Chain A
Amino acid sequence: MSCSPFDLRDYLLKELSDGECRQVDAHVRGCAACREDLERLHLTEAALFSLRDEEIPQRIAFVSDKIFEPSPWRRAWAAFWGSGARLGFASAAMLSIALIVFSLARTAGTPGLERASGPATARVAASGASVSEEQIQQRVQAAVDQAVAASETRLQKVFDQRMNDLQRRDQALLLSMASDLNFAERQEMAVIRSDYTLPRANRGDLK
């Protein structure tokens, strides 16, 4: 442990004032232990200084190219946007938008406004509702009537067509029966008039 008035390491590292250094010098001249300690510190420092700085393997340089430099307007914008004003500006903009939206929404749907206009507004609304209801009923009735008429017409057409078909079928059936009756009568008359003989093939010459 050093008995020096000031730390010998601070003396070595040149962190003492001139007066403090003189006090240390005076103390070291008369104190063998501190002198030896300080000598070892000097030797340590000398050993450390034996390591020289190296040259940098590659020089560093920057180039300026006008092509890649931003325009004054973009520099000004970048400077503004990169500054602390950005947060304030964004906050103010959001607050303004919120206020505008809120005021518009309140104007459009304020309950107090309907109450202020009161009965007049209600009357207008009521009359508007009755007129529209009558119109709706008329339109519905007209549509129903039209649909019923169309349906009746369609059914009448179908009925007439069916009746016509039945009449034609009856006539055809009567005509067919009449022709069949005539044919039978003619065959009967033919049998009566001729001598009836079996055909030759039916007379036993088959084998």
Chain B
Amino acid sequence: MIFRAVEDADLIRQAARGAVEAYNLLVSRWEKRVYNYLLRITANREDALDLTQDVFLKAYQNLKKLDDPARFAPWLYRIAHNEAYSMFRKRRPETDVDELEPEATDTGILVGGSSVFPMELGLAVARALERLSPDQREAVVLKIYQGFKFEEMAEILSCPVSTVKSRLYTALELLKTELAPIKSRGVS
């Protein structure tokens, strides 16, 4: 893990000097994670892909402004968060950002491919996540699926750590109420 971080830092320094190949290697390491983060907060594959491309283009253009290469991940996700919410605002400018909901999809993007769990559980998880507010859902995605620390989440979301914890704890309680009984029945 430490070795990987050093490698990323080297790639970032090279890319900041204009080495496009180094940046492409960096993109190949992070594109899947960024795409899935955006997919879970936008609930739309096309939007997630477009936003992912925009995020990496903007990151390349602003790479010199990144003071500490070790902070690349929260810096990159901060760009992704801003791009996603900028898209939400453009599409529904009259709506408050806190009230924005991802677009509903027919198939439900949250139902993954080769899950070891029954399809019923996958649908239940998708429904439970959809019931969360966008802020709560994003907090769950950043913590559970992306593995960020509270401080990093606060940096990405541009809010205090206490706010991050509040959103996440509320979301976990709601998810526990929805999913734990179903899970216990499904597994047993």
The residues of A with any CB-CB pair to B shorter than 8 Å are 7, 9, 12-13, 15, 40-41, 43-64
Set A44, A48, A51, A61: member contacting B24, Cβ < 8 A: A61
Most B CB atoms within 10 A — which of A40, A48, A58? A48
Task: State in angstroms the CA–CA spacing of A58 and B116 once bound together.
Answer: 26
A residues in contact with B73, CB < 8 Å? none
Please classify the interface of chain B as helix (H, G, I), strand (E, B), loop, or mixed, using the class held by over half of its residues: helix
Q: A6 to chain B: closest CB distance in Å?
A: 13
Give the size category of B's interface with A: 35 or more
* Cβ distance B43 to chain A, nearest Cβ, rounded Å: 12
| Structural contact, A51 and B125, CB atoms closer than 8 A | yes
Given contacts A51-B110, A57-B49, contact A45 B31 (CB under 8 A): no
Known: A47-B183, A51-B110, A62-B60. 17 other contacts (CB 8 A): A7-B169, A9-B168, A13-B168, A43-B176, A43-B184, A47-B182, A48-B125, A48-B179, A50-B112, A50-B116, A51-B145, A53-B32, A53-B112, A55-B32, A56-B31, A57-B45, A60-B53
Is B20 part of the contact surface with A, judged by Cβ < 8 Å?
A: yes
Nearest CB of B to A170, in Å: 105
A52 to B114, CA, bound (A): 8
Q: Are B35 and A56 in contact (CB under 8 A)?
A: yes
Residue with the greatest number of chain A CB neighbours at <10 A, chosen from B20, B109, B172, B175 = B172
Annotate B146-188 by CB proximity to A: 1 below 8 A, 0 otherwise. Answer: 0001100000000000000000110010011001101110010
Q: Are A62 and B24 CB-contacts (below 8 A) given A45-B144, A48-B125, A51-B126?
A: yes
Instruction: Check B117–A50 contact: CB distance below 8 A.
Output: yes
Report chain A residues within 8 Å CB of B39. 54
Interface contact tally, CB-CB below 8 A: 105
**Which chain B positions have C-beta within 8 A of A47?**
117, 121, 124-125, 175, 179-180, 182-183
User: Are the CB atoms of A62 and B150 closer together than 8 Å?
Assistant: no
Binding site for A on B (CB under 8 A): 18, 20-21, 23-24, 27-28, 31-33, 35-36, 39, 45, 49, 52-53, 56-57, 60, 109-117, 121-122, 124-126, 140, 143-145, 149-150, 168-169, 172, 175-176, 179-180, 182-184, 187
CB distance from B23 to the nearest CB of A (A): 6
Subset of 6 A-B contacts with CB under 8 Å: A43-B184, A48-B175, A51-B145, A56-B35, A60-B56, A61-B24
Known: A55-B32, A60-B53. A48 touches B20 (CB 8 A): no
* Set of chain A residues within 8 Å of B124, measured between Cβ atoms: 47
**Complex Cα distance A50/B121, Å?**
8
- B115 engages A9 (CB within 8 Å): no
* A54 in contact with B113 given A9-B172, A59-B28 (CB within 8 Å): yes
Q: Cα distance A40–B187 when bound, in Å? A: 13
C-alpha gap A9/B28 in the complex (Å): 33
Closest chain A residue, CB of each to CB of B34:
A56
Contact of B140 among A40, A48, A57 (CB under 8 A): A48
- Would you give the shortest CB distance from B141 to chain A, in whole angstroms? 10
CA A60 to CA B66, docked complex, whole Å: 21
A44 x B172 contact (CB < 8 A)? yes
Contact between chains at A43 and B179 (CB < 8 Å): yes
Which residue in chain B gives the minimum CB-CB distance to A57? B49
B179 touches A44 (CB 8 A): yes
A50 lies within 8 A of B49 (CB): no
| Residues A15 and B45 in contact in the complex (CB < 8 Å), given A48-B179, A50-B116 | no
